Amino acid sequence: MVQPFLLEKLTMQTVRVALAQIAPKLGDLQKNLELHLERLERGVREGADLVVFPELSLTGYLLKDQTPDVALALDSPDLRPLLEATGEIDALVGLVEEGQGHRFYNAAAYLSGGKIVHVHRKLHLPTYGMFDEGRDFAPGDRLRVADLPFGRIGILICEDVWHSPNAWLLAQEGAEILFVIGSGPTRGARQETGVTSVPVWHDLLRTTAQFQTAQVVYVNRVGYEDGLNFGGGSIAIDPFGRTIGSIPALEEGWLVAELEGEVLRRARTAYPLLRDARLELVSREMGRIRLERFGLPDPEKDM
């Protein structure tokens, strides 16, 4: 049986999204704020409805001991210029959020009409290879969609999208557009393919778009921090897995992509994956796996 909210919420309107592939300045909130305001002004001039920035776009990535110094509460006056700039255009920005108990989160905030209307805290903090995010941040523990005038959206931050249940859960709650913001570093280069990490990301994002029959917008940063090079390769992909537009790797770039509501409708009609999902089966089997993995007692067997 099709869930009623899916029928009600399949109303996505065509929206023009600007992808801002920038190189934030590490630890410099003021410089990064100025950079954001410049891109928002450009978005207004070019008729975009929304500008999407990369992960930790207001602070830079390799913060380490600077994390508490650049952290912002959501009601911080430092965010006021950015909020004032979203009277004509929306913005999705990356920041260090200071939450209750002075916990610091790698967060994404959606700004519209001078307000913060949605926040996503990064769920999966990588601590392998060159990454050590668990040292500085607390993990988020909520996954929610947001209803906006043009449709229902979900936000994921970098590592989050590599854990496929996250995108699936957002799609099951009705997300029509998945915004993925990243600070993905380069991982080698080949003459025939360029930066090898970029096509890997694109393959993942195309698969995500097709499996969730959703529009996917990925914005990754560029630049250097402490010898680490960030790859860029930002891209917008439609629900059929087709590229709407992309930005080359390694250099700052800008793209206004038009996400069409009718394309989403055609994809979900042709591939009714959301309709056919069996949530009760997934819930039951996940409960069973959880009990087995952690050696917990099965209440049904104990009855």
Active site residues per annotation: 55, 122, 158
Helices (H), the chain: 4-9, 29-45, 67-70, 80-84, 164-172, 197-211, 261-270, 273-276, 279-293, 299-302
Determine the Cα–Cα distance for residues 263 and 277; give it in Å rounded to an integer. Answer: 21
Which value, to the nearest 10 degrees, does the dihedral of the CA atoms of residues 16, 257, 207, 13 take? 20
Structure token digits, residue 224: 């250097």
> How wide is the angle at C-alpha 264 spanned by C-alphas 173 and 221, nearest 5°?
80
Helices (H), 46-185: 67-70, 80-84, 164-172
Determine the Cα–Cα distance for residues 147 and 22; give it in Å rounded to an integer. Answer: 27
DSSP SS3 for 68? helix
DSSP secondary-structure letter at 12? P
Determine the Cα–Cα distance for residues 86 and 52; give it in Å rounded to an integer. Answer: 12
Long-range contacts of 2-5 (CB under 8 A, 24+ apart): 2/275, 5/174
Determine the Cα–Cα distance for residues 126 and 239; give it in Å rounded to an integer. Answer: 28
